[in-house]
Amino acid sequence: MKINSTEIIDTFAEAFKMYGSRAIITAETKQWAMAAAQSMTGFATSVIGCKCEAGIEQELPADKTLDKRPGVSVLLFAMDIEGIGKRLMERIGQCVMTCPTTACYNGLTSDNTVAVGGQLRYFGDGYQISKVLGNHHLWRIPVMDGEFLVEESFGVQDAVGGGNLLILGKDQKTTLRAANAATKAMREIPGIILPFPNGVVRSGSKIGSKYKSLIASTNDAYCPTLRGAAATSLVPSTSNCVLEIVIDGLNIDAVEEAMRVGMQAAAKPGIKQITAGNYGGNLGQFHLHLHKIINSN
């Protein structure tokens, strides 16, 4: 199968069950809301080393937020519900509450919830005040520019992590241009994030290592410089750069749609192949087949 002149390899991305939550950050200006969102989603590229994966889902106009101020929605994913609760409390407490003019609200309706404002309220040292606004139980925590408003609890739901595409191009410049086009298209899909820097990762990993202390190591099969040295190389002689895009989503349909538009956008001149990473189907609960995704449109 080809899109334009780019071959789409008949394989699948192996994704994993995760848990996801959505935080809505608002502020007096969209610049301050974005500053808090960027801080909250820092160092959150992979659960391998960061304990969670997080990213900015979208900007929200003032008429779409609870307090009618500019907002940003952030998605955060972890391997269990307890992990979601810990990471939300840490990141909202350290990165949102600290940011001038911000407030933070739950953005996900779910039967499963974790306490966030219910824990952060203690920072108020007894001066915090409970507030109910419609169906929202909030805490008003006094801070030096006024008060920080944060929701008592945040919803958590089943989610999908680790959807991915590998883009193989003739050189770095060409491949990066294609990856940028893919991430731009993917960000239009609600319910997903691309957790790596600007949505792209160059240091793709495989499970395990020759060093027993490591649980993951460089994906040598897709390193162009190891084409003649690795036990198995999957980089054709016409490709000298491989870039990966990882997708996490609140449901499998959103991840597959992001992969579909990403493949279409990345299939540019000079892109030889688009494929995906998997572990033989033995680890991840979800197998996202590239040809099936393309044909589903």
| In the block, residue with structure tokens 């960061």 | 50
Each residue's pLDDT tens digit, 204-240: 999 899 999 999 999 999 999 999 898 899 999 999 9
User: What is the bridge-based pairing of β-strands 71-78 and 241-249?
Assistant: unpaired
CATH dotted code for 2-15+159-295 = 3.30.70.520
d(CA 98, CA 297): 44
Nearest residue to 100 (alpha-carbon basis) of 146, 43, 40: 146
Helices (runs of H) and strands (runs of E) counted in the chain: 7, 17
**Global pTM value:** 0.96
Each residue's pLDDT tens digit, 257-293: 999 999 999 999 999 999 999 988 888 999 999 999 9
CATH dotted code for 19-157 = 3.30.70.520
Each residue's pLDDT tens digit, 114-154: 999 999 999 999 999 999 999 999 999 999 999 999 999 99
Q: Are 205 and 214 in contact (CB under 8 A)?
A: no
> What six digits make up the tokens of 197?
């820097």
Q: Are 65 and 48 in contact (CB under 8 A)?
A: no
> What mean pLDDT is reported for the chain?
97
Per-residue pLDDT at 279: 87
Each residue's pLDDT tens digit, 43-101: 999 999 999 999 999 999 999 999 999 999 999 999 999 999 999 999 999 999 999 99
The domain limits of the chain are: 2-15+159-295, 19-157
Judged against a pLDDT cut of 80, whether residue 297 lies above it is answered with no
> What six digits make up the tokens of 61?
């106009």
Per-residue pLDDT at 22: 98
> What six digits make up the tokens of 16?
């994993």
Fold match flag (2-15+159-295 vs 19-157): yes
